[in-house]
Amino acid sequence: MRRVHPEFAYQSRELEGQIDGILGDPPDRKNYKLMVDALVSEYASGGGIEDVNMLAFALVDHISFSDPKGLLAEAEDYEFGDPSRVFAMASCAGDEAGKMYAALQDSFPDLARQAIITAFLFKNPRKWDDDDQSLDQLSANDDGDDVQDDDEATDDFAQMFDKDGE
């Protein structure tokens, strides 16, 4: 298991939520396909929304990955990386999706790098380790020194009523 940058982990979770939200309950595959097709068409024309999550949403059903280890290595840094190297590690099949993938290299290379890695992480959740952000984990090393006893007044509270400043 590899650690990935926390922002990539976040974007992957967001992508899952977005897909679930568009599919709905019960899943409406027709609506989902219309949404994906509209995004692919926009990005294929060189336009589209400049958003990592929306771009990953457009890519996720069309993209295949040729170098999973390389993509995991690239997922360690969110801001900096070589877009051309990431583009070489994946591809999109189909006419419109292939056109979109080629257009992204010119239109939004850095954003597309992040979206490709996000789509990879979403499709391969067992290859990487997400930081545990649960309350139990966050409080694991808390020694409790910031907890005030409810029965005694703190200095801050007592000073509110001290008119003489003593």
Phi, psi dihedral angles at 129 (to 5 degrees):
-115, 125
- Residue pair 40/101 in contact (Cβ under 8 Å)? The answer is no
Residue 127 is predicted with a pLDDT of: 80
Distance CA 33, CA 60 (A): 12
Distance CA 110, CA 96 (A): 21
Q: Global pTM? A: 0.76
Percent of the chain with pLDDT over 90: 57
* Residue 27, token pair as written in the block: 């899943």
pLDDT, tens only, 114-139: 999 999 999 998 888 766 554 555 56
Per-residue pLDDT reduced to its tens digit, 139-157: 666 666 555 556 666 666 6
b/e per residue 123-150 (b: at least 16 CB within 10 A): beeebbebeeeeeeeeeeeeeeeeeeee
Which residues have C-beta within 8 Å of that of residue 159, sequence separation ≥ 6?
Answer: none
Q: What is the pLDDT of residues 33-70, one digit of tens each?
A: 999 999 999 999 988 889 999 999 999 999 999 999 99
Residue 90 has pLDDT above 80, yes or no: yes
Q: How many CB atoms lie within 10 A of CB 8?
A: 23
Question: Is the pLDDT assigned to residue 86 strictly greater than 70?
Answer: yes
